[in-house]
């Protein structure tokens, strides 16, 4: 992993078309601004992990008769 | 071809029935082929997403519009391209359902629906950038309302 130090209002640029700017630093929270083409999908890592976990739960065996009558 | 399924023993499917998920499904990245098993009860909103290769892997899924008629999905441009979508009428949606022991907590993943191109049978579970829908959206009230209307 590449590690860079940035101050408030400083940016990094990835691949010439994605810019990530440090907007605000407050305690252990950092607000990031992201400029990217509409085609780039950007997600908090925990959202993707949550979806993985939800899918694992969805794969658990169930009693199909519970679904009847709706 | 015949495949074994988690809930319906052996079934016969056609090659054309298979949906290909080039990236798998989050949590099941190696599972790239699924079929939809439609509910015998035509009124039921529930369908099944069965892995072709892994008989023990099946999800309960629901058409999001059947519980939220005004459901809206925005598919990012690169996903549209990846799925080869040219016409919105070729798109079909499913939301994966979690059926817990406490049935009143049944939920559907409306933040990350499965987008299916019914023309070329490419599919992907995408994540929307919105706070309108949740990964674990409880749907019991909507289901009961539906049941009451039938």
- In this structure, what token pair is assigned to residue B123? 């599919």
Chain A residue with the nearest C-alpha to that of B141: A70
pTM: 0.86
Residues of chain A that touch chain B, judged by Cβ-Cβ distance less than 8 Å: 38-43, 47-48, 50-59, 61-62, 64, 66-70
Judging contacts by C-beta atoms under 8 Å, the chain B residues touching residue A67 are: 44, 46, 60, 99
* Residue pLDDT, tens place only, B105-117: 999 999 999 999 9
With H, G, I as helix, E, B as strand and everything else as coil, classify residue A65: helix
Which residues of chain B, if any, have pLDDT below 50?
A: 149-150
Integer Cα distance of B122 and B81 in angstroms: 11
**Shortest distance, CA A8 to any CA of chain B (angstroms):** 25
Of residues B98, B113, B107, the one with CA closest to residue B138:
B107
ipTM over 0.90: yes
Q: Tens digit of pLDDT for each residue in A41-70?
A: 788 889 999 999 999 999 999 988 888 888
Give the three-class secondary structure for B89: helix
Cβ–Cβ gap B98/A61 under 8 Å: no
Question: In this structure, what is the dihedral angle of CA atoms B13, B63, A57, A43, given to the nearest 10 degrees?
Answer: 110
Q: How far is CA B68 from CA A58, A62, B102, in A?
A: 20, 24, 22
Q: Answer for the pair A11, A19: CB distance below 8 angstroms, yes or no.
A: yes
What is the least distance, in Å, from the CA of A56 to any CA of chain B? 6
């Amino acid at each position: 992993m590449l590690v860079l130090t940035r101050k408030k209002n400083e940016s990094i640029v990835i691949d010439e078309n994605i810019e990530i700017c440090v907007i605000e630093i407050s305690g252990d929270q950092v607000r990031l601004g992201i400029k990217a083409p509409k085609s780039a999908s950007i997600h908090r890592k925990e959202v993707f992990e949550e979806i993985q976990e939800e899918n694992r739960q969805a794969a658990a065996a169930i009693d199909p008769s519970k679904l009847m009558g709706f | 071809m015949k495949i074994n399924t988690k809930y319906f023993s052996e079934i016969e499917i056609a090659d054309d029935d298979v949906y290909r998920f080039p990236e798998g499904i989050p949590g099941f990245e190696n599972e790239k082929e699924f079929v939809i098993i439609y509910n015998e009860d035509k009124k039921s909103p529930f369908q099944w997403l069965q892995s072709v290769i892994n008989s023990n892997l099946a999800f309960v899924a629901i058409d999001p519009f059947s519980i939220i008629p005004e459901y809206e999905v925005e598919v990012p441009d690169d996903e549209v391209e990846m799925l080869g979508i040219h016409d919105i009428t070729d798109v079909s949606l499913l939301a994966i359902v979690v059926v817990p022991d406490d049935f009143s907590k049944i939920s559907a993943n409306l933040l990350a629906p499965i987008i299916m191109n019914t023309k070329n049978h490419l599919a992907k579970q995408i994540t929307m950038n919105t706070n309108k829908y949740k990964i674990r959206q409880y749907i019991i009230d909507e289901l009961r309302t539906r049941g009451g209307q039938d």
